[in-house]
């Protein structure tokens, strides 16, 4: 996330970074807006209680309050539904980043693995899967870290024009020793 935001900032395309905590924002500090301390404590309690859907919804609603007319939004799947909707009402475009395969496929694969190991609980709360599907349906673009992830969305019926592949990578220093020596 940091590298994506830094690239947007370097290109003059970033107005604000909205995150639960921004203590380590570094070069992005001028753009950073974090949750006030009491809200971070509430979210920590939600996580400890495994109320992840409430946690993500709480953050999403708070984040959406920072949007202004004409803004575009780049967020993460499962934390962006209210923000996507508000951004569209304001005339903006939206991107959601998805680090794993299409949510229903992920749920099926994880259920198989859970069953192999005798685990009976649901690996991902069905409500969370529904929310991710709503976000994927409503966003303008889904940003995938690989063709595997993009292909999983196409296999689920999403049009290729809705998918963008942004491969994972690293920042390499200019003075890398030649690997052949």
Predicted pLDDT of residue 178 = 64
Strands (E), 41-100: 73-76, 94-97
Residues with Cβ within 8 Å of residue 120, at least 6 apart in sequence = 114
User: CA–CA separation, 85 vs 62, rounded Å?
Assistant: 13
Which is it for strands 94-97 and 73-76: parallel, antiparallel or unpaired? parallel
Q: Which helix (H) or strand (E) holds 98?
A: none
- In this structure, are residues 43 and 20 in contact, taking their beta carbons and an 8 Å threshold? yes
Predicted pLDDT of residue 177 = 66
User: CA–CA separation, 147 vs 78, rounded Å?
Assistant: 20
Tell me the sheet residues that pair with 94. 73
User: CA–CA separation, 21 vs 73, rounded Å?
Assistant: 18
Output Rg (C-alpha) for the chain, integer angstroms. 18
Predicted pLDDT of residue 140 = 97
Could you say which residues of the chain have pLDDT below 50? Answer: 181
Residues with Cβ within 8 Å of residue 27, at least 6 apart in sequence = 6, 9
- In this structure, are residues 34 and 20 in contact, taking their beta carbons and an 8 Å threshold? yes
- In this structure, are residues 150 and 165 in contact, taking their beta carbons and an 8 Å threshold? yes
């Amino acid at each position: 996330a940091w590298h994506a935001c830094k690239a947007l900032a370097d290109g003059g395309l970033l107005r604000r970074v909205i995150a639960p905590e921004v203590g380590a924002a570094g070069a992005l500090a001028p753009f950073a807006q974090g949750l006030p301390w009491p809200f971070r404590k509430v979210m920590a309690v939600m996580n400890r209680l495994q109320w992840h859907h409430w946690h993500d919804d709480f953050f999403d609603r708070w984040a959406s309050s920072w949007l202004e007319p004409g803004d575009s939004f780049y967020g993460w799947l499962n934390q962006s539904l209210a923000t996507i909707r508000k951004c569209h009402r304001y005339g903006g475009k939206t991107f959601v980043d998805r680090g794993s395969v299409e949510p229903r496929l992920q749920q099926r694969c994880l259920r198989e693995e859970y069953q192999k190991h005798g685990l009976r609980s649901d690996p991902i709360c069905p409500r969370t899967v529904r929310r991710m599907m709503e976000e994927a349906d409503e966003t303008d673009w889904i940003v995938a870290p690989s063709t595997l992830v993009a292909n999983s969305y196409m296999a689920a019926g999403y049009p290729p024009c809705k998918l963008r592949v942004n491969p994972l990578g690293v920042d390499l220093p200019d003075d890398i020793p030649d690997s052949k020596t």
